[in-house]
Amino acid sequence: MSSVGYQVIARKWRPQKFDDVVGQEHVVRTLKNAITQNRIAHAYLFVGPRGTGKTTTARLFAKCLNCEGGPLVDPPEDSEISKSIMNGSCMDVLEIDGASNNGVEQVRDLREDAQYAPSQGRYKIYIIDEVHMLSTAAFNALLKILEEPPSHVKFIFATTESQKVLPTIVSRCQRFDLKPIPENLIQDHLAHICSAEGIQAEDAALKAIARLADGGMRDSQSILDQMIAFCGSSISEEDVLQVYGLAGAEQIDQLAEAIATGNHQAVLEMVDTLDASGRDFFRVLVDLQARVREELLKAARGGGSSDGFGATLSTESLTRLLDSLRDGESGLKFGLNEKVNFEVALLKASDECRARAIDGLIRELSGIAASLPDDSGEKKKS
């Protein structure tokens, strides 16, 4: 029996160098240039949604700074210090959880520890995750050392809620915004993982997983792990839809067409079908909004109208449809009967997209009236 336990995909496939980071080229390029040009700041703030690579990028940057002969853009991966930084055991790279170490006493201890020189690498690097969880007193205790840190100290902060970080802290950092990773990049990376792991996965299945991950690479890898546990070495789209209660792309298109053409009977029948197959109504609503948004952008770029839903809809109609679907979210979340609220949201959206906006109608009537000939003089003569 192997002494090494199973390692989940999200950890096994965690990037080990900058070139492995997916979807954050603007951050990677800037950090590489900072190392090459020897313009390394004393404090960095990584901001972005969960699973987009904030802590991973912080570790990679720390490895580049503290490797043998560093700072180097491509540090040796097999060296002891590089391995210790990536597995979290390096004495000079300290990862601190801001949620559980958010008091002023912990920050004071950090300030005292920072005065000592590093024991292995060139710098003493503090990575504080979820830094927005620090108390106001802890932030204030951090300000002084952030303003005038020892030359051997670097700070890297990571947060999902940058608005909660004190402006006085942000102003002392170089800020990097990590964006949600596009679905096509997530899908391509999952396909690469499946190929390496010997997993047969349909492209449609990986696309569904990428859609479900909402821009987070870690989330997509966790979902893939669960699907492998459920399906074994062969994953189909239907498996993903069944486990996570998703509707297929074809179902979303059919539902959008029924709404756009005002076919209420078809809408209700499709809701019954989705309910019988155990689909998640809220997720269907979100996917429906994404599909309508695609058609809205297509209409905006194509002359102001689109016929992608079986009826010619103007950008105004598509905008009203999208607004109505968004308004239905709260009723679906907090209503007592999810199915009834879902039906009402779809039927209202159908009526909204086919209704004429009163201000637009008035403009059209005014234009027609202005174009009519003025025959008041003829009437007076007669």
Domain CATH number, residue 35: 3.40.50.300
At 279-325, the pLDDT tens digits run 889 989 999 999 999 889 988 888 888 888 888 888 888 898 999 99
Whether 41 is covered by a domain: the verdict is yes
**CA–CA distance, 204 with 217 (Å, rounded to integer):** 17
Whether 83 is covered by a domain: the verdict is yes
- Single-letter code of the amino acid located at 194: C
Residue 153 has pLDDT above 50, yes or no: yes
At 248-273, the pLDDT tens digits run 888 899 999 999 888 999 999 999 99
Residue that is last in its domain, among 122, 149, 177: 177
253/240 same-domain check: no
Residue that is last in its domain, among 155, 177, 199: 177
Residue 77 has pLDDT above 90, yes or no: no
Residue 370 has pLDDT above 80, yes or no: no
Whether 367 is covered by a domain: the verdict is no
152/28 same-domain check: yes
At 157-204, the pLDDT tens digits run 999 999 999 898 999 999 999 999 999 999 999 999 999 999 999 999
Give residue 313's pLDDT: 84
Q: How many domains does the chain have?
A: 3
Residue 376 has pLDDT above 80, yes or no: no
* Of the candidates 34, 38, 37, the residue with the CA atom closest to the CA atom of residue 18: 34
- DSSP symbol at 78: T
* Of the candidates 86, 83, 61, 81, the residue with the CA atom closest to the CA atom of residue 71: 61
Domain enclosing residue 308, as ranges:
249-362
Question: Which secondary-structure segment (H or E) carries 127?
Answer: strand 124-129
Which positions ≥6 away from 255 have C-beta within 8 Å? 247, 267, 270, 284, 288, 346
Residue 1 has pLDDT above 80, yes or no: no
Percentage with pLDDT > 90 across the chain: 44
* Of the candidates 56, 31, 53, the residue with the CA atom closest to the CA atom of residue 175: 31
Residue 2 has pLDDT above 50, yes or no: no
373 compared with 179, residue with greater pLDDT: 179
Give residue 357's pLDDT: 53
At 203-223, the pLDDT tens digits run 999 999 998 898 999 999 999
Give residue 333's pLDDT: 76
The end-to-end CA distance of the chain, in Å, is: 110
Q: How confident is the model at residue 375 (pLDDT cuts 50, 70, 90)?
A: low
271/321 same-domain check: yes
199/167 same-domain check: no
Whether 371 is covered by a domain: the verdict is no
Percentage with pLDDT > 70 across the chain: 93
Residue that is last in its domain, among 225, 244, 263: 244
Mean pLDDT value across residues 97-104? 82
Residue 363 has pLDDT above 90, yes or no: no
Whether the model pTM is above 0.85: no
158/34 same-domain check: yes
Give residue 304's pLDDT: 82
Whether 1 is covered by a domain: the verdict is no
31/118 same-domain check: yes
Whether 374 is covered by a domain: the verdict is no
Which positions ≥6 away from 36 have C-beta within 8 Å? 73
Give residue 269's pLDDT: 93
